Structure formats: C-alpha cells, structure tokens
C-alpha cells in the first residue's frame, strides 16, 4: 500500500482564505489580485480549438526530457505536490516568456517543514478515532492550504547545499525532521528561501480549476478521492475513487477528452474535461500512457495520468481542497549560468 499524507481541515482552509481576503488578495481564482480575470478561459480555449494544455511541456522544452516521477515513503505527498506546482509554474512562465528567469530545481522538504512547524506551529489537530492511517493520525502529513501559505509568506527554497544540509536531491528524512513539532529550521535556510514567493488562490469548483489551469496556474489538489494504488491506466485515464485517509497530487494541465457540441453548456463541457495529475508513487500507474483526447493522442510522462473533472467535483464536495499557485518572485539567470533562458536575448 502506498503512503498518503493529506487530511481534511475545512476550518483551517477557511482561515487561510480569510487571510487572503483581509490582505485584499481575494481568495478564489476569480478574485485573486493582480491576476487578470480567469473567468471563461477554458471555455474560450475550447472554442478556439485548443483541447489540451499541459504545463509540464515547459520542463521538457527546458530540460530536453521529462522530470522523473516522485516516490514518497512518508506522508509528504502534499508538499511534493506543492513543489511540483511551483516548479511547473516557473518553467511555464519562462517558456511563455512571461518572465526572464532560470529554470531551478526546487525543494519539497523545506515546504513540508515550514507548513507544519511554522505555518501550523506543529498543531495538526486531534487524531481520528480507531486505527486511521491518515497523515494527521500517523504523525505525517499536511493540508494544502498551509503549504500554499508557506510558499506565499515564508519562501521557496532551491535545491543545493544550504547551511551544511544537503538538499541537492530528495531528502525525505530531512523533511520529516523539519516537520516535527517545535523543530527549528536554520535561519540560513530561511534566508535562502525568503526572496522567492508565490501568489496563491483557491479553486472553489472544477470550473475554477479548469480556468486556472487554462490560464497557466497549476494546482495542488487534496482529497479523500484519488487514484487507487491498484489502478491501471485505461487510455491514459484513471478514475478517482474514495480511499482510506487522504492524498494530494499536483494538477498541471487540462484536456478535453471528447468533442462537445456546445462549449457554452457548462455541464457538457465539464463532463468532457479532464485534469493532468502528477503522482508521488513512482512510475505509477502502469498501463496505456497514450491519452486519447478530442484532438488526438498524447503520451503522458511516467508517474502521470488524467482524471475526469467530475471525479474532482466529488472530491471537493467531500471536503477536498485545491490551491493554485504562481511563482511571482523567482530565479534570475546568472551571467555565467551556461543555461539558455527564453527571452534572455532581450535582456541585454
């Protein structure tokens, strides 16, 4: 059985939402300050014949390959999803020439520790009765709202060796250590992350999710509805089903799975819509990775699948949460980086 690590906390999600409203940043996708209205973006794309928007194409353009899949062994799924959202957001902006920046590998370990020990202050709430194995009860885990707030208020850490701590590659033990109640993250690490921040917004519905994804804002979705560990890809698709505990995975694109007669019919449009999902269980699920959609066939990256929007709607109704993020203070290219950055030629 694969580990999970998300739990439902609607009161905390509402609290984070209210913080954004108080800061005059709106709260939902459609009211976030500084973001042009995203209302109707997915519908408009479909009307133009754009049936697939996959943000992770940007990483393949910059790296010449897909990033490998994540594989959690502890309850770090939500932090891995948040890191993937930020990583993908930054790559997408570079490729779309929205920023002049350098592709940078980011750390989920820092986000996990900050969300638990600093944003939540080590209090995850009371355990559930019985032998529940969700993140709250097993001692691991986080909620998406806390991770989004961490990337907005405290910072985003790039990989490397910082204050003698090796984060040049995945170090889940360090994440768990930083996430313990009353743990202290070194000031040098906090200082290294502080200049880099994200804009965050909550999706209240699957239509908001679709519009945010069509606008280039990846999302972190946590719910008790997720792909079963026993799931097999069927033409690139896995259905979300109710499972024990809760799990979080990134959403990095939107796709029209079959043609629609009337894109203005919201019900028809959403019934034909799917979201790209990036898991944290290694090269899972197995099966046919050739996604068949309204525009043809698209090969999915390892560790990814597409799930119907309708399944996400059930997950949201059952206490799930989805937060979209966009890096707004990122990494500038250095003169001697040796890395080509789209748009860098205009910076001279």
Taking the alpha carbons at both ends of the chain, their separation in whole angstroms is 53
Q: What is the pLDDT of residues 5-31, one digit of tens each?
A: 998 899 999 999 999 999 999 999 999
Q: What are the structure tokens assigned to 66, written together? A: 């897909």
Q: What is the chain's pLDDT, residue by residue, as a tens digit (348 residues)?
A: 799 999 889 999 999 999 999 999 999 999 988 787 899 999 999 999 999 999 999 999 999 999 999 999 999 999 999 999 999 999 999 999 999 999 999 999 999 999 999 998 765 544 454 555 554 555 689 999 999 999 999 999 999 999 999 999 999 999 999 999 888 999 999 999 999 999 999 999 999 999 999 999 999 999 999 999 999 999 999 999 999 889 999 999 999 999 999 999 999 999 999 999 999 999 999 999 999 999 999 999 999 999 999 999 999 999 999 999 999 999 988 644 434 344 333 332
In total, the chain counts a number of residues equal to: 348
Q: Which residue has the tokens 């691991």?
A: 140
Distance CA 102, CA 99 (A): 9
**How far is the C-alpha of 88 from the C-alpha of 251, rounded, in Å?**
10
What is this structure's pTM? 0.92
Helices within the chain (DSSP H only): 10-22, 41-47, 57-63, 77-95, 108-114, 135-138, 144-153, 172-178, 187-193, 206-214, 266-271, 309-317
Q: Where are the domains of the chain?
A: 10-332
Which is nearest to 148 in space by CA: 111, 180, 105? 111
- In this structure, the number of other CB atoms found within 10 A of the CB of residue 28 comes to 18
Q: Is the distance from CB of 1 to CB of 68 less than 8 angstroms?
A: no
Give the rounded distance of the alpha carbon of 253 from its chain centre: 10
Task: Choose the CATH number for 10-332 among 3.90.70.10, 3.30.70.3280, 3.40.50.2000, 3.30.360.10.
Answer: 3.90.70.10
Q: Among 16, 87, 65, which residue's Cα sits nearest to residue 302?
A: 65
Mean of per-residue pLDDT scores for the chain: 91
Residue for token pair 């993908």: 88
333: which 2 tokens? 């290219």
Instruction: Encode burial over 262-274: b for 16+ CB neighbours within 10 A, e otherwise.
Output: ebeeeeebbebbb
- Find where tokens 């202050």 sit: 121
Tell me how many helices (H) and strands (E) the chain has. Answer: 12, 13
Rounded CA separation 244/265 (Å): 34
Whether the CA torsion 133, 134, 136, 138 is positive or negative: it is positive
Cβ 238 vs Cβ 291: under 8 Å: no
Are 180 and 9 a contacting pair, CB within 8 Å? no
């Amino acid at each position: 059985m694969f580990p999970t690590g998300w739990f439902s906390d609607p009161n905390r999600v509402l609290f984070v939402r209210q913080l954004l409203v108080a800061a005059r940043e709106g709260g939902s996708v459609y009211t976030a300050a500084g973001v042009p209205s995203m209302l109707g973006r997915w519908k408009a794309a479909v009307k133009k014949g754009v049936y697939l928007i996959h943000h992770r194409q940007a990483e393949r353009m910059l790296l010449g390959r897909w990033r490998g899949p994540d594989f959690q062994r502890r309850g770090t799924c939500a932090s891995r999803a948040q890191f993937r959202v930020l990583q993908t957001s930054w790559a997408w902006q570079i490729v779309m020439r929205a920023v002049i920046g350098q592709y940078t590998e980011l750390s989920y370990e820092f986000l996990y520790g900050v969300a638990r020990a600093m944003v939540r202050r080590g209090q995850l709430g009371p355990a559930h009765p019985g032998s529940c194995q969700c993140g709250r009860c097993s001692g691991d885990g986080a909620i998406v709202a806390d991770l989004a707030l961490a990337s907005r208020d405290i910072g985003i850490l790039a990989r490397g060796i910082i204050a003698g701590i090796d984060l040049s590659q995945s170090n889940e033990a360090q994440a768990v250590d930083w996430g313990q109640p009353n743990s202290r993250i070194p000031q040098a690490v906090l200082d290294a992350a502080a200049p880099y921040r994200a804009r965050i917004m909550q999706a209240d519905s699957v239509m908001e999710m679709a519009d945010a994804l069509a606008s280039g804002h990846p999302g972190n979705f946590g719910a008790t509805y997720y792909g079963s560990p026993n799931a097999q890809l069927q033409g690139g698709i896995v259905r979300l089903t109710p499972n024990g505990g809760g799990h979080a995975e990134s959403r990095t694109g939107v796709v029209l799975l079959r043609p629609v007669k009337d894109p203005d019919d919201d019900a028809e449009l959403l019934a034909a819509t799917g979201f790209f999902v990036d898991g944290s269980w290694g090269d899972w699920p197995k099966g046919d990775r050739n996604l068949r959609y309204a525009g043809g066939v698209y090969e999915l990256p390892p560790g990814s699948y597409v799930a119907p929007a309708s399944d996400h709607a059930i997950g949201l109704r059952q206490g799930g949460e989805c937060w979209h993020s966009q890096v707004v203070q990122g990494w500038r290219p250095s003169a001697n980086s040796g890395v080509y950055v789209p748009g860098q030629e205009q910076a001279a």
